[in-house]
Chains A and B, each alone.
Chain A
Amino acid sequence: MGTKIVTTIITVLAGVGAALVLYWVLNRLAELLPGHWEDRIKPYLYILPAYLAITFYLIYPAVETVIDSLKDSSSTAWVGLDNYTHLLKTHDFQQTLFNTLLWMLIVPAVTVALGLGVAVLADRLKPKAESTAKTIVFLPMAISMVGAGTVWKFLYTYRPEGRSQIGLQNAIVTGLGGSPVPWLEQNEFHLNSLLLMVMLLWAQVGFSMVLLSAAIKGVPGDTIEAARIDGANERQIFASVVVPQIWGTVITVFITTLISVMKIFDIVYVMTNGNFNTNVLGNEFFNQLFTNFNNGAAASIVVMLMVATIPIMIYQVRHFRAEEAAA
């Protein structure tokens, strides 16, 4: 333990130190150049390490992943598109894709809606009550997903009829005279997937609320006053005055949540490990790589995710640029 702490401290110091030295050297190099060349070259030298880092840590692995997805399980022989066709043909993987799609359709929209609801309602409270309410909604953000998953498992825990129920939901059901339900096994209408989503919502709504609340506070009071004078009711003000002015934040929250949902892994792994038809791409990727040691299948899942994420990223970048231009 002691050596680990020392190693950590040394690593951090060395990292920061090395970065300082690098920039100092680059700066010196630029200063060696004659007058106006120094000014021209310097920005590029300063941005160079960042580009190098992106190349090494993002672009190179991404390319490597695409290459691996065309190779066999131990990345030794080329197999063409076999990994993709094999995965897409199996029923289980189709279900996994469908489940992931469900997460994408439901979670971001509900996160925004709930976050917006809390933000708007909390805005009407007295300052003290507002901050208390917001703190409570925001608290789950501080818990790691794995920890939260373990806790939430207790909410859905099932014991056979006649044994004392330690799960909250089944305690309520049996308390009302019903039979205990194995919640996480209920895959009619994907109920179990929905129950897992509830957990993510619980954890994510705080994030959405904080951003949207800040945006709402930024809406100029005079626009609302003007609308009120014109005779608009509260709903009309919200829909036609407030929402259009915070639309940019709504999109940002939506897309951030969407991307994190596409990569969702921890909740599913901890609570069901994809059993009972709750599997999602992130969990399938983990199992392909670390249970099956199938590099090819794991890489092709990542490539599929990457391809699905790219349009969203492009949209977000464009949206961001448009906002910047407008500002």
Chain B
Amino acid sequence: MQTLSRGRKLALVATAVASLVATAACSGGGGSSSSSKTVTIWSSTDPLVFAGLKKEIVAKAKAEGITVNMQKVDNINQLIMTKIQANDTPDIAMIPQPGVVGDIVKRGKAQDLSSVLDMNALKSSMTPGTLETGTFNGKLYGLLVSMNVKSLVFYPKKAWDKAGYTAPTDFASLEALTDKIKASGTPPWCFAIGSDAATGWPATDWMEDLVMRYGGVQGYNDWVTHKTKFDSSLVKQAAAEMEKLLLTPGNVAGGRSSIASTAFGDADNPMWDAKPGCMMLKQGNFIVSKDFMPSKVVSDVDANIGVFGFPPATAGGDNPTLGGGDLATLLSTSDSAKKVMKILADPTLGKDTAGSSSFISPHKTFDMSLYPNDLTRTIASTAYKSTAFLFDGSDAMPGAVGAGTFWKDMTAWISGQENLDTALKNIDQSWPTS
């Protein structure tokens, strides 16, 4: 009898514990119920932008009685798909790739934002092209919250001005400038594509900028949706230009093998030496940050860093801007989450963030004086004034290509493991059939 009663006690305890676990698991995570006052946001954006936006969003939501739990996560594209399969998602996810938003929509987990937000207001304030990137089947599912601009070429201002170089206006003058810098004994381009598991992406940005300039908006969109193949004259023309500018011996220090083995964040390091080791870096605006550049350079941005928009193929021709950003995707039906989405759609969002980070608002109406320096104002106006804002193509392609073979085969081509034709054919072959 002694053992029995002990057993009974044990059973009782176990039942109690099991019910506790159930409660703990429910409060632990997952999309909140419709009456919840807590909203979870996941983002993997740049640390400074994240910190600034978090502060603003939390404060604004608090005024409406909502607690926002904004978390920085790594690898959000992979994580969110895993969590969707596990049915354990945040209420709002800031996805940096439209292709992934499309995958979420396909699985029926994203909420239509057209009915939540004031679409007319957005249409008048957002930079042209930015709403289209988050639109699937005619409905808005991803709202661009912060923007980055990639069609930019940075240069070391002091050395540049001393040598008397001027910003090129078309590809011919860009090539001439490249040769001129090389003739002076300096490798003209700073270029590196290393990025751990994402190695290769800076090369895809180059390809995209070149394709959209040769093919225009229509040609670019056809390529991104695979109506135009990689193995096509348009893409080959772009690759040939890239090869001419970057892979000609002497144009990048260390040549092909150095490009693939160096981290993209280190590409600009030689640019800031007393005698610059390279003069031009085509990169997104995010690179202007203490995370990537020496602090002595970033401490006085306008004195040290110059920037010009990547030129059109022919002067006065199509000059779209390549960009990216975080698309806020609503994964919950709760009223609080919808209210937070409205906060994210506010054209003044970022007013306390812009001054202290690389944040650029997707809203043309954003107060330019809030940007911290002339460099950022130049960058933002490049985007606001471009003939079209085109989202990063590799981000918009299916994951298998945009985060897979496009990166890998560009890497293989640049490092000399594959020739261009093989690389382009491999990418075409990997395009999902369904």
Q: Distance (Å) between the CB of B164 and the closest chain A CB?
A: 26
- Decide if B408 touches A275 in the complex (CB within 8 Å): yes
- Decide if A294 touches B400 in the complex (CB within 8 Å): yes
- Decide if B199 touches A275 in the complex (CB within 8 Å): yes
- Decide if B253 touches A14 in the complex (CB within 8 Å): no
Our pick among B11, B82, B434 for the contact of A72 (Cβ within 8 Å) is B434
Q: How far is the CA of A74 from the CA of B277 in the complex (A)?
A: 48
Is B21 among interface residues, defined by CB-CB distance under 8 A? Answer: yes
- Decide if B262 touches A10 in the complex (CB within 8 Å): no
- Decide if A92 touches B434 in the complex (CB within 8 Å): no
Q: How far is the CA of A17 from the CA of B399 in the complex (A)?
A: 44
Mark interface residues in A68-92 (1 if CB within 8 Å of B CB, else 0): 0000111000000000000000111
Q: From known contacts A6-B24, A18-B14, A72-B434, infer whether A160 and B81 are also in contact, taking CB-CB under 8 Å.
A: no
* Chain A residues within an 8 Å CB radius of B415: 185, 275-276
Number of interface residues of B (CB under 8 A): 48
Our pick among A18, A273, A294 for the contact of B199 (Cβ within 8 Å) is A273
Q: Distance (Å) between the CB of B350 and the closest chain A CB?
A: 29
Q: Distance (Å) between the CB of B195 and the closest chain A CB?
A: 10
Q: How far is the CA of A158 from the CA of B434 in the complex (A)?
A: 41
Q: How far is the CA of A3 from the CA of B404 in the complex (A)?
A: 37
Q: How far is the CA of A21 from the CA of B277 in the complex (A)?
A: 71
Within 8 A of A (CB), among B100-143: 103, 106
- Decide if B432 touches A73 in the complex (CB within 8 Å): yes
Is B429 among interface residues, defined by CB-CB distance under 8 A? Answer: yes
* Chain B residues within an 8 Å CB radius of A162: 253, 277
Is A159 among interface residues, defined by CB-CB distance under 8 A? Answer: yes
Is B78 among interface residues, defined by CB-CB distance under 8 A? Answer: yes
Is B197 among interface residues, defined by CB-CB distance under 8 A? Answer: yes
Interface window among A57-65, A123-131, A285-293? A285-293
Q: From known contacts A90-B429, A291-B399, A293-B399, infer whether A21 and B260 are also in contact, taking CB-CB under 8 Å.
A: no
Number of interface residues of A (CB under 8 A): 43
Nearest chain A residue, comparing its CB with the CB of B20? A10
Q: From known contacts A17-B10, A293-B103, A293-B399, infer whether A7 and B261 are also in contact, taking CB-CB under 8 Å.
A: no
- Decide if B261 touches A158 in the complex (CB within 8 Å): yes
Q: How far is the CA of A72 from the CA of B400 in the complex (A)?
A: 14
Our pick among A7, A17, A182, A275 for the contact of B25 (Cβ within 8 Å) is A7
Q: How far is the CA of A290 from the CA of B399 in the complex (A)?
A: 9
Q: From known contacts A7-B28, A275-B200, infer whether A14 and B400 are also in contact, taking CB-CB under 8 Å.
A: no
Is A214 among interface residues, defined by CB-CB distance under 8 A? Answer: no
Nearest chain B residue, comparing its CB with the CB of A187? B417
Q: How far is the CA of A235 from the CA of B106 in the complex (A)?
A: 67
Q: How far is the CA of A56 from the CA of B108 in the complex (A)?
A: 28
Q: Distance (Å) between the CB of A299 and the closest chain B CB?
A: 14
- Decide if B17 touches A17 in the complex (CB within 8 Å): yes
Is A13 among interface residues, defined by CB-CB distance under 8 A? Answer: yes
* Chain B residues within an 8 Å CB radius of A207: none
Nearest chain B residue, comparing its CB with the CB of A183? B261
Interface residues of B (CB under 8 A from A): 7, 10-11, 13-14, 17-18, 20-21, 24-25, 27-28, 78, 81-82, 103, 106, 196-200, 253-254, 257-258, 260-262, 269-270, 277, 398-400, 403-404, 408, 411-412, 415, 417, 426, 429-430, 432, 434
Interface pairs (12), CB distance under 8 Å: A14-B17, A21-B14, A161-B253, A185-B257, A185-B417, A273-B199, A275-B415, A276-B260, A287-B404, A292-B430, A292-B432, A293-B81
Other A-B contacts than A14-B14, A185-B415, 8 sampled, CB-CB below 8 A, are A17-B10, A17-B17, A74-B106, A185-B260, A187-B417, A273-B196, A273-B198, A292-B404
